[in-house]
Amino acid sequence: MAAKIIVACGSGVATSATVAYKVKKLLAAEGIDADVEAVAVANLDEALKDADAYVAVVRPEGEFDVPVFNGVAFLTGMNQDEELKRLADAVRDK
């Protein structure tokens, strides 16, 4: 079964969709099957109900029941390898 990863930004359109595509591609290269969904922050609580991880493009507010990862790393490439390793370790074998 594929891991479910939620990527969220303010509107859930351009930036989160770009990060979601990149995360899916990077995880696939690691041999990890993942459903990566881009959503608006306004829909975050509902989207996270059955998710395995949250990639935040904007600074997350509050606490979450899933691990949270830095989406800006995937957007800019800065610290991307470290964030990818953390994400892959968290969702591997989900």
CA angle 20, 15, 54 (to 5 degrees): 45
pLDDT tops 90 at residue 10: no
Contact predicate 56/25, CB 8 Å: no
Per-residue confidence (pLDDT) for residue 6, from 0 to 100: 97
Q: How confident is the model at residue 93 (pLDDT cuts 50, 70, 90)?
A: confident
* pLDDT, tens only, 37-90: 999 888 899 999 999 999 999 877 788 999 999 999 999 999 999 999 999 999
Average pLDDT of the segment spanning 11-16: 79
pLDDT for the residue numbered 87: 98
pLDDT at 12: 61
For 27, the enclosing helix (H) or strand (E) is: helix 14-29
Domains of the chain: 3-71 (3.40.50.2300)
Higher pLDDT pick, 24 / 63: 24
pTM of the complete model: 0.93
Quick one: pLDDT at residue 1?
Answer: 77
